[in-house]
Amino acid sequence: MRLLLALLLLAGLAGSAAAQTLTLAGRNGSRQVTAAALLADPATREVTIAADPVYRRAMTYRAIPMADLLKRLAVGDDDYVQARATDNFSVGIPARLLEGGPDAPAEAFLAVEDPARPWPPIPGKADGKSAGPFTIVWRLGARTAVSSEYWAYRLAALAATDSPFKRWPALGVAASVPAADPVRRGLDRFVAVCMACHRFAGAGEAEQGPDLATPMNPVDYFRPEALRKLLRDPASVRTWPDLKMPAFGPDALPDSDIDAIVAWLAYKAAERKK
């Protein structure tokens, strides 16, 4: 009887801990950490974010510096960290940016929700859930910004990977394309912004949105103006209750970035027809 009770208790504990567990896959192996363990970590501290873009106000978190975490995971300077959320959003963030350092524009932290003092629900989301149990936040210097996709919340896993350009060379552009060609910037922006939700010809890890090359590339069925409009604000082209792709303000995605992404998409579509 006592054994049964102990087993039930263990199962219950495992159940509640599983909800608050983060998988950390480093270059030195993979492990699971609980929110409780991270909250008790000596490196964890109080961090105030003056203008948190997810909560749209100042937020104070218990958070561990990403630089500490990445060191423990033996993540290399040229690596990327793939941050996967519980809803299949999956963004690759350059380790160099997360590691910070004296010249970095921003300092990154992994904020940990304390089950005893939960964060509020994310404003504007119908599900009423918070950004927890784990979220990446950035303490920005004056006049600096970080791509909004890099504020990755509701995290389930962080994994060290090679850079997306190395992992998926098929995304790349030919060496003959000049360095200043917008196609190159388009690829950079596509990787940083769009691949959080979309794959391209199978490349990528996200599963939220459609693959943008399989079977057809959007430049092959959207008029250029309609595609630009859709990338600025999908609801300006078509809308339905379950629309998930966000609008991008001019800060997050200037017109020149939209043009560059469309140029890269067109480049890849033309390459395929050769």
Answer yes or no whether residue 53 interacts with ligand HEC by CB under 6 A: no
Least separation in angstroms between residue 166's CB and ligand HEC is 21
| Part in contact with ligand HEC (CB under 6 A); list of ranges 8-16, 74-82, 110-118, 238-246 | 238-246
Cβ 106 vs Cβ 139: under 8 Å = yes
Least separation in angstroms between residue 246's CB and ligand HEC is 5
**Pick from 174, 172, 167, 58: which is nearest to 119 by CA?**
58
Residue list 178-217, contact with ligand HEC (CB under 6 A): 193-194, 196-198, 208-210, 212
Answer yes or no whether residue 246 interacts with ligand HEC by CB under 6 A: yes
Cβ 122 vs Cβ 57: under 8 Å = no
* Single-letter amino acid code for the residue at 207: E
Answer yes or no whether residue 261 interacts with ligand HEC by CB under 6 A: yes
Cα distance between residue 129 and residue 122, in whole Å: 6
Cα distance between residue 227 and residue 262, in whole Å: 8
Least separation in angstroms between residue 265's CB and ligand HEC is 7
Position of tokens 């970095």? 104
Angle at 269 between CA 264 and CA 274, to 5 degrees: 120
Cα distance between residue 207 and residue 198, in whole Å: 7
Answer yes or no whether residue 230 interacts with ligand HEC by CB under 6 A: yes
Cβ 194 vs Cβ 261: under 8 Å = yes
Cβ 98 vs Cβ 67: under 8 Å = yes
- Considering beta carbons, is residue 34 or 86 the nearer one to ligand HEC? 86
Selected from 156, 173, 245, 269, the binder of ligand HEC by CB under 6 A is 245
Which burial class, exposed, middle or buried, applies to 177 when counting CB atoms under 10 A from its CB (0-12, 13-18, 19+)? Answer: middle
| Part in contact with ligand HEC (CB under 6 A); list of ranges 14-22, 95-103, 159-167, 226-234 | 226-234
Cα distance between residue 141 and residue 125, in whole Å: 28
| Part in contact with ligand HEC (CB under 6 A); list of ranges 60-68, 157-165, 177-185, 241-249 | 241-249
Answer yes or no whether residue 163 interacts with ligand HEC by CB under 6 A: no
# residues near ligand HEC by CB under 6 A: 18
Answer yes or no whether residue 108 interacts with ligand HEC by CB under 6 A: no
Cα distance between residue 244 and residue 41, in whole Å: 36
Least separation in angstroms between residue 132's CB and ligand HEC is 19
- Considering beta carbons, is residue 68 or 259 the nearer one to ligand HEC? 259
Least separation in angstroms between residue 264's CB and ligand HEC is 9
For ligand HEC, the binding residues (CB under 6 A) are 193-194, 196-198, 208-210, 212, 218, 230-231, 234, 243-246, 261
